Amino acid sequence: MSIDDVIYVICLLGCIGAGSYVKKITDEGQRKLVSTALGVLVVVIVSGLHSLHCFVSLALGTAAVLLVHPSKGHLVTFAVMFGYLVFFRIFDFYLGIPGHTNMIQMILTLKVSGIAFEKTAAWKRLQAHDEQKKNDQRDVHQESPIEITDYDVELQNLSAAEILHYSFNYIGVLTGPYYRYRTYRDYFEMPFKTHAPTVEATLEKLKYAVFYCALYLATNYMWPLDYALSDEFFNDRSFVYRLLYVWPTFFTFRARIYTGLTLSECVCTMAGFGAYPDESDPNNGEGPRKRYQHLKRDADKHTYNFTTIVNTRVLEVERCWTFREGMKHWNVCVQYWLAVNVYKLFPSKKYRTGATLLCSAYWHGFRPGHYFCIMGAPFYVSLEDMWDKLVRKSATGTSRRVIDVTFWIFKWFAFSYLGEAFLLSSFGNIWRFYSSVYHIGYVSWAVMTALGFYLTSQRKAAERRKKRAAEKAAGGDGIAAAIEKEKAQ
């Protein structure tokens, strides 16, 4: 582990330990100040002078949220925060910035632009509600009443201090998870944190974090990524060895990510952050999907979960059969942000999937590996969907189990093959590695796509022939019946 990784882990463990203290602070205003002070301290420890990037971008984003009219505020704030990433990464390219500072900046970008999107959505609901009231006064029929909440009104009266507190709250400041401003506000206004099983949930997650960390250290020792950049790897190792090397290196990457994300979730659970009653139906990143404010009256009588702050469903990622399912369970809080603020709002339905993936790649960084990996995913998913319809969907029994396992193997090959580009990062490293295995991933996927199209067309042609034969037989039977009827008469 590098010195940056050691500092990062120490900061995460310190934040976990601080949770029990922060949760016990009775004065909510003091709790908010302490949480922000801890967050700023962590940012400065991890980033040093580079933390100025975070403060400058926050100031610019806050100005956009507060000064631009809500009808355009979300777009301007999005442009400001994502635009600052250009300057930030150019600065990184020439002068170098610690890797974990990049993560802080990435999460900050989602938070500030996310609160602008929330403000605009609330403003639109308020406008629609006012218009509905006017129509009611004119006796114009409306299909269903538009409901607004105190939260919608509160978003229109945000202050710079509140955005600062939300952005630099020590919970999630390092690696996430991303959470809405509403989740942050609920932490200070709702009593759920007091009754949630914070210690039990934290200990359970810590067990997994230790396990993932052990896997990371062991596999990184045996199959280091740096070896895939060495001359020995390309000159002395066989084609099969080089091709199979993508499996352990991507496994090491997953174990590292799982460790960091699980520790980040421990920061939340120890403080009781993101705890909601089961009845509120919380969703990852989003929070409750049902009304929940009334549940605070008897908060001690409910059971709680921390679904809101679960960023990756590790077991589901590992066990699911297909690439598409695996993507749904990976980094789900960030996926929620992308789905709500990019995918659903993009003006063209035809191109919104591509735009969302491009936004994701841009957010991750400007290195070619990010685009090789993320933009390659939809092509494999479409291939997988095609073969799912051809062979998997209608299979049952033993055949289905065999096909499921086959899909699972191909899923992890695709993740590992594309993920290798993400890890190798630069175009030169990526091209050298892919060339050494003869671009077998892309070539085999192209062949399977062509074969899939051919088999699909053959199946459709067979179905059309079968349909015409059935119609012809039905027509022949009708003629024969008419002749028999004439003879009878």
Cα-based distances in Å from 337 to 114, 195, 202, 287, 354:
7, 28, 25, 12, 16
Rounded to whole angstroms, how far apart are CA atoms 102 and 470? 64
E strand or H helix at 287, and its extent?
A: strand 287-288
Rounded to whole angstroms, how far apart are CA atoms 366 and 310? 27
- Phi, psi angles (nearest 5°) of residue 283: -125, 150
| Catalytic (active site) residue 294 | no
Residue 413 near residue 250, CB atoms below 8 Å? no
- Helix ranges, 138-294 (H): 150-155, 160-167, 181-189, 192-195, 198-222, 231-235, 239-244, 246-271
Rounded to whole angstroms, how far apart are CA atoms 444 and 462? 27
Amino acid at 284: N
- Point out the catalytic residue in the list 331, 341, 370, 429: 331
Residue 277 near residue 28, CB atoms below 8 Å? no
Rounded to whole angstroms, how far apart are CA atoms 195 and 44? 33
Cis peptide before 347 (omega within 30 of 0): no
Tokens of 432: 């050298």
Tokens of 206: 């810590």
Nearest-CA neighbor of 334 among 257, 397, 428? 257
Going by the DSSP 8-state scheme, the letter that residue 340 receives in this structure is I
Amino acid at 165: H
Nearest-CA neighbor of 114 among 176, 52, 25? 176
Tokens of 119: 């403000």
Residue 252 near residue 216, CB atoms below 8 Å? yes
Residue 47 near residue 99, CB atoms below 8 Å? no
Residue 324 near residue 385, CB atoms below 8 Å? yes
| Catalytic (active site) residue 169 | no
Rounded to whole angstroms, how far apart are CA atoms 464 and 52? 66
Rounded to whole angstroms, how far apart are CA atoms 190 and 203? 24
Residue 79 near residue 145, CB atoms below 8 Å? no
Q: Which residues contact 208 (CB under 8 A, 6 or more apart)?
A: 258, 262, 314
Rounded to whole angstroms, how far apart are CA atoms 228 and 234? 8
- Point out the catalytic residue in the list 53, 74, 165, 364: 364
Q: Which residues are annotated as catalytic?
A: 331, 364
